[in-house]
Amino acid sequence: MEKLSLEEERALVARAKEGDKLALARLVEAYQEPIYHTALKMTKNREDAEDVLQETFVTMVEKLHQFRGDARLYTWLYRIAVNNVYRRTRSIQKHEAMDINDPDVQQIHGGQLSEWPETANLLGEREWIREVLAIALDELPPKYRTIFILRDIQGLSIKETQEILGLSESNVKVRLMRARNYLRDKLSTSLEEGVHYDEGA
Partner 1 sequence: MTKALSHKKTFQKLCDDLSTDIHAELCDEVKEHLKDCPDCRVYVDTLRQTVYLYRGEYHEEQKEGIPEEVSDRLFKVLKLDDIRSRLQEEAERE
Q: Would you tell me which residues interact with partner 1 (CB under 8 A)?
A: 21-22, 24-26, 28-29, 32-33, 36-37, 50, 53-54, 57-58, 61, 102-103, 105-106, 108-109, 113-116, 119, 122-123, 129-130, 133, 137, 148, 152-155, 158, 173-174, 176-177, 180-181, 183-184, 187-188
Smallest gap, in angstroms, from Cβ of residue 50 to partner 1?
5
Smallest gap, in angstroms, from Cβ of residue 89 to partner 1?
20
Angle at 67 between CA 48 and CA 27, to 5 degrees: 60
In Å, how far are 10, 108, 186 from 149, measured between CA atoms? 26, 25, 17
Closer to partner 1 at the Cβ: 61 or 92? Answer: 61
Closer to partner 1 at the Cβ: 69 or 155? Answer: 155
Closer to partner 1 at the Cβ: 33 or 96? Answer: 33
Closer to partner 1 at the Cβ: 14 or 94? Answer: 14
**How far from the centroid of its chain's Cα atoms is residue 63's Cα?**
24
Q: How far apart are CA 137 and CA 89, in angstroms?
A: 16
DSSP the chain: --PPPHHHHHHHHHHHHTT-HHHHHHHHHHHHHHHHHHHHHHH--HHHHHHHHHHHHHHHHHHGGG--SSS-HHHHHHHHHHHHHHHH-TTHHHHHH---PPPPHHHHHHS-PPPPPPHHHHHHH-HHHHHHHHHHHHHS-HHHHHHHIIIIIS---HHHHHHHHT--HHHHHHHHHHHHHHHHHHHHHHHHHHHHHHHH-
Smallest gap, in angstroms, from Cβ of residue 81 to partner 1?
13
Smallest gap, in angstroms, from Cβ of residue 200 to partner 1?
23
Closer to partner 1 at the Cβ: 29 or 94? Answer: 29
Smallest gap, in angstroms, from Cβ of residue 156 to partner 1?
12
Smallest gap, in angstroms, from Cβ of residue 54 to partner 1?
5
Closer to partner 1 at the Cβ: 110 or 200? Answer: 110
